[in-house]
Structure 1
Amino acid sequence: MFLTLSVFIILILFGIWITLAFHAWALMALINLIFVSIIVLRLIHDAKDKKKLALYFVGIALAFTLIVFQEAAGPSPVSRFLSSFMLLQAVQLALLVFLLAQLLIWARARCR
Structure 2
Amino acid sequence: MVDDWTINVRVETELVKNWVDTKQIDFSTISGVVYIKGKLDFQLDVFVNPNEQDYFERKAMVEVEKLKRVERNIKKIPGVRAVKFELENWFKMGARWVKLKTQVIPGNK
Q: Which category of TM-score, normalised to the shorter sequence, fits these structures? A: 0.3 to 0.5
Higher strand share: 2
Q: TM-score, normalised by structure 2?
A: 0.36
Q: TM-score, normalised by structure 1?
A: 0.36
Higher helix share: 1
Q: Which has the higher contact order (CA 8 A, sep 6+)?
A: 1
